[in-house]
A and B are shown apart, each in its own frame.
Chain A
């Protein structure tokens, strides 16, 4: 393990930042210029190229090469330094390449998708800012610096969800995403503080390198330390449930689909929402110490994946289906981490970044083709109208369903195997069932949108421009074939090949489940069958279509009491009554009333004044005489 200090890692994050600054400062001047969009694409391409260089630097070196660059010390408390430094090891090299690569493709796609938007300069400046913060998150060498990026991507997510802010619902969705994430972030901060106080008390630092090297040996056998670290790990995972949309904080992600589709693809499918998985993988030395945290991750992920998959089955908005599917797939990733092999999670993260970005971009292409229609029941028969998009979607569809040789098959299969090997049989069964559900709802969406009779909105569909098609093509190739490199991937992340004997039926179960789900997807959406099932099980349908009423439950349990407390107690009582009426207006009223009485004395009558003067003098004299006597 050798650490190189001199590699200029800042080159990776600098270009998008520069792009953002230029676009932001000159946004009014660049508003009508296409150059703004090209500049944004260029900066993300630059950081992609530098990421590739750094990646090759690491991949070329034998025996674990780590690039580290200290930028400057952020602050220092009693010798405990918090540095702004960038680190690139195998994990962050991989992530940086994926992030910058997918970002670049989606920038290109946005050229076509956002080409006619009047605010596209603002759009591209936010997109560049997002790439910057995401790369900071990936390359940060300590969790606090990582948190800077973590918050930064949350900000960009908020800005981009509410990008079309003229529509109040979009702005509300942005706020919901931001606030829900804040709840998770609060846990994250507490976890971070526990970790920092632990590191400070041991005379160490918050750097990942130090912690990875020293925490296992310090914590070994010390129950108090172990339980504190375990608590930190659990709290940081709760932070990840916000960012990575896990139960119970996933509710913001479906609403986040209000943003432009490239944003959904980049931020809410491929990169930002995987930050939680990346964080857990980064801190895996910590999670390995805590069986409790692992169990919590495993069960949360399992529950989330099946819950989201069930909800996705009855959605009709193409982007909402993909959003719930993303939540479910993020659950899969956490399953991999929770069952002890973070490399499985990372592998699924990568393949998911490809095929889910592809699916979102394809959905964007469909929406673009239909002039803004998102309801799959209004599509129908798109197969012949937009042939190229259809083929690309098919690649993404097969990948997410998990059919070989598409990438989703390898990554999902490996995660399900990992769960089996960790011994959680019930979780395994749920994950297999979720695989079937995944295949079902994706097939349902695919079939309803592209096959059958031409829908009402599909009559005048037109194919998207080339700038949108070729990033999708690149992603389609990646989602089709990246799974074949799983062996290289796992050796790059230094996972020794796990060869445990798995019964044939268990090993093949995910594939069989996927095929069954696929068949069900085609069978149940046939007109006769679906109209037969239309009126059956009304209660169940209602609950699932209502998304298990989780939003309503939150509304009732959190928002209503909070609203009551704020409105009735804090506002009406404390602010209006106590502060405004009593403390602000009270003194004014008092002096006003007293003045009203006292001004009677000033009546303008000279003889009255004279009388008062004389009487006062007499009183003073009487007092003086009494004092003397």
Chain B
């Protein structure tokens, strides 16, 4: 039962993350939404580790942390550079790269 709640929580978190990612225009918030999405995936992995008594999903969850950390580091650095160059983090105002 607990584990099913964990999966539901994961789904809710992922939905929130996707909704925020799609609806907000502040790129900092969008990055945070991505972090949330990754963590929801980690939670789903933890759920499967518990229900199936396997260790592999745990490894996956650990990998997600590593990816999230790396992503946060690079993403924040990029955001700093973008905010310095454009003086804004609103994604609607940054449209230099188009075909």
Residues of chain A having any CB pair with chain B under 8 Å: 598-607, 610-611, 614
Which residues of chain A have C-beta atoms less than 8 A from B99's C-beta?
598-603
* Neighbour of A603 across the interface among B18, B27, B30, B95, CB < 8 A: B95
* Interface contact A602-B21, CB-CB below 8 Å: no
* Neighbour of B21 across the interface among A599, A600, A614, CB < 8 A: A614
Closest B residue to A605 by CB, please name it.
Answer: B95
Q: Does B98 contact A (CB under 8 A)?
A: yes
* Interface contact B98-A606, CB-CB below 8 Å: no
6 extra interchain contacts, Cβ-Cβ under 8 A, other than A602-B97, A606-B27, A611-B22?
A: A599-B99, A602-B99, A603-B95, A604-B94, A605-B92, A605-B95
- B77-97: CB near A (< 8 Å → 1, else 0) gives 000000000000001101111
The size of the chain B interface, using a CB distance under 8 A, is 14
* Neighbour of B97 across the interface among A598, A604, A610, A614, CB < 8 A: A604
Least distance between A603 CB and chain B CB atoms (Å): 5
Which residues of chain B have C-beta atoms less than 8 A from A603's C-beta?
95, 98-99
Which residues of chain A have C-beta atoms less than 8 A from B30's C-beta?
606, 610
Residues of chain B having any CB pair with chain A under 8 Å: 18, 21-22, 25, 27, 30, 91-92, 94-99
* Interface contact B21-A606, CB-CB below 8 Å: no
Closest A residue to B23 by CB, please name it.
Answer: A607
Least distance between B28 CB and chain A CB atoms (Å): 13
Closest A residue to B24 by CB, please name it.
Answer: A607
* Interface contact B91-A606, CB-CB below 8 Å: yes
Assembled-state Cα–Cα distance A278/B27 (Å):
96
Assembled-state Cα–Cα distance A305/B96 (Å):
87
Assembled-state Cα–Cα distance A607/B27 (Å):
10
* Interface contact B21-A610, CB-CB below 8 Å: yes
Least distance between A608 CB and chain B CB atoms (Å): 10
* Interface contact B92-A604, CB-CB below 8 Å: no
Which residues of chain A have C-beta atoms less than 8 A from B25's C-beta?
607
* Interface contact B94-A606, CB-CB below 8 Å: yes
Which residues of chain A have C-beta atoms less than 8 A from B94's C-beta?
604, 606
* Interface contact B18-A614, CB-CB below 8 Å: yes
Least distance between B40 CB and chain A CB atoms (Å): 13
Assembled-state Cα–Cα distance A21/B27 (Å):
81
Least distance between B52 CB and chain A CB atoms (Å): 16
Assembled-state Cα–Cα distance A604/B86 (Å):
15
Assembled-state Cα–Cα distance A607/B23 (Å):
8
Assembled-state Cα–Cα distance A167/B22 (Å):
80
Which residues of chain B have C-beta atoms less than 8 A from A605's C-beta?
91-92, 95, 98
Can you list the 6 inter-chain pairs with the closest CB atoms, starting with the nearest?
A: A604-B98, A599-B99, A602-B99, A604-B95, A606-B91, A603-B98
Which residues of chain A have C-beta atoms less than 8 A from B27's C-beta?
606
Assembled-state Cα–Cα distance A614/B21 (Å):
9
Least distance between A178 CB and chain B CB atoms (Å): 57
Least distance between B48 CB and chain A CB atoms (Å): 14
Closest B residue to A601 by CB, please name it.
Answer: B99
Least distance between B17 CB and chain A CB atoms (Å): 10
Which residues of chain B have C-beta atoms less than 8 A from A602's C-beta?
97-99
Which residues of chain B have C-beta atoms less than 8 A from A598's C-beta?
99
